[in-house]
């Protein structure tokens, strides 16, 4: 870890023009890291842009610097030629979406991630699967530089909170150590939790109502699942980004040890899986070419309907459930 941190700090000090990104559908961990680095690099007088494939989910607008996050379309008009790119929370380059075309062209690509299956697509690859969030890694780096401040702390606390399901899982003594260190900068953890978890626009609850109608459960295997169709997004004026976190409502069911949510895309079904302590979701995701962590993973099935995908997944789980236990 020390070697990577020193190497990355050297690059940050040496160069001046940076771009930052995370995975296509940005989440609290990725956005927290992006805004933390935006604040860090600006504080150091560097030129920096954050580019994401998809627009910012409304509830993350509170992050310091969030209003400066560009979509690819806006960034392209800027004629900015970056020297260094920094990619957070992406196991593979394709996870960035079309932003990857800009990122991979930069002379130096810094890949900072905590997914075990990371493909090391960067020129510097700092991959640390034992860390509960990439935000943790950013904390170690930025505190080493002695550049921590209240804004950065707020961003990184958001990463920690998001990737631990509001401090419910992926927890070690280090997670609480970093959280405690972050609080020293005067942030308000209750206020941040309210912003992340209790600022859901009504349309999302309406989407949830439609999703909940599709719930099915396998009582024997303790697995619950539900579906989201393109039609449901249309009816509620929502998009896939608005499904973030909804799967936790499925996981919260007493009778379930594992939950999956199937999201229809054009020619693709995107599946998110979450578990409590019985199942390792990563083993399922890996079988289908996806990735993640023991309690939270994702994968896609291509050119199949929601129904067909449901059959494929259930058949696999019912056959292999013994191998999937933690």
CB of 30 to Mn ion, least distance (A): 7
Return the number of the residue (159 or 238) whose C-beta is nearest Mn ion: 159
Residues 6 or more apart whose CB falls under 8 angstroms from that of 25 comprise 53, 54, 240, 241, 244
Residue 316 DSSP SS3:
helix
Backbone angles phi, psi at 246, to 5 degrees: -65, -30
CB of 29 to Mn ion, least distance (A): 4
CB of 235 to Mn ion, least distance (A): 31
- Distance separating alpha carbons of residues 97 and 99, to the nearest angstrom: 5
- Using CB under 5 A, which of the segments 74-82, 84-92, 102-110, 252-260 binds Mn ion? 84-92
- Using CB under 5 A, which of the segments 21-29, 40-48, 209-217, 229-237 binds Mn ion? 21-29
Number of H helices, E strands in the chain: 13, 12
CB of 297 to Mn ion, least distance (A): 12
Q: Is 29 in the site for Mn ion (CB under 5 A)?
A: yes
Q: Which residue is nearest to Mn ion (CB)?
A: 29
Binding marks (x or -) toward Mn ion, 124..163, rule CB under 5 A? ---------------------------------------x
- Distance separating alpha carbons of residues 124 and 111, to the nearest angstrom: 6
Residues 6 or more apart whose CB falls under 8 angstroms from that of 33 comprise 22, 88, 89, 112, 134, 135, 138, 155, 156, 159
- The secondary element (H helix, E strand) that includes residue 247 is helix 247-251
Contacting residue, 34, 53, 70, 89, with Mn ion by CB under 5 A: 89
CB of 28 to Mn ion, least distance (A): 8
Cβ count within 10 A of residue 43: 14
- Using CB under 5 A, which of the segments 64-72, 82-90, 216-224, 278-286 binds Mn ion? 82-90
Question: Applying CB under 5 A, which residues contact Mn ion?
Answer: 29, 89, 163
């Amino acid at each position: 870890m020390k070697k990577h941190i020193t190497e990355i700090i050297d690059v940050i000090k040496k160069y001046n023009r940076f771009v930052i990104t995370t995975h296509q559908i940005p989440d609290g961990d990725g956005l927290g890291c992006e805004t933390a680095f935006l604040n860090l690099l600006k504080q150091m007088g560097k030129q920096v842009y954050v580019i994401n494939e998809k627009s910012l989910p409304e509830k993350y607008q509170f992050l310091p610097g969030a209003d400066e996050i560009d979509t690819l379309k806006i960034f392209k008009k800027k004629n900015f030629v970056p020297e260094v790119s920094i990619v957070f929370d992406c196991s593979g380059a394709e996870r960035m979406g079309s932003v990857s075309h800009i990122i991979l062209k930069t002379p130096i690509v810094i890949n900072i991630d905590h997914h075990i299956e990371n493909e090391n697509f960067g020129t510097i690859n700092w991959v640390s699967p034992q860390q509960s969030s990439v935000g943790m890694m950013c904390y170690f780096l930025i505190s080493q530089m002695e550049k921590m401040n209240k804004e950065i702390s707020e961003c990184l606390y958001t990463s920690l909170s998001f990737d631990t399901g509001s401090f419910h899982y992926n927890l070690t003594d280090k997670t609480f150590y970093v959280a405690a260190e972050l609080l020293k900068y005067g942030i308000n953890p209750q206020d941040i939790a309210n912003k992340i978890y209790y600022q859901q626009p009504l349309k999302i609850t309406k989407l949830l109502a439609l999703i909940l109608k599709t719930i099915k459960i396998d009582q024997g295997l303790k697995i619950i699942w539900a579906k989201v169709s393109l039609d449901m997004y249309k009816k509620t004026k929502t998009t896939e980004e608005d499904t973030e976190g909804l799967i936790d409502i499925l996981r919260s069911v007493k009778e379930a040890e594992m939950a999956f949510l199937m999201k229809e895309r054009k020619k693709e079904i995107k599946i998110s899986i979450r578990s409590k302590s019985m199942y390792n979701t990563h083993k399922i995701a890996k079988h289908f070419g996806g990735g993640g962590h023991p309690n939270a993973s994702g994968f896609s099935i291509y050119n199949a309907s929601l129904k067909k995908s449901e059959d494929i997944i259930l058949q696999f789980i019912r056959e292999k459930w013994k191998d999937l236990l933690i």
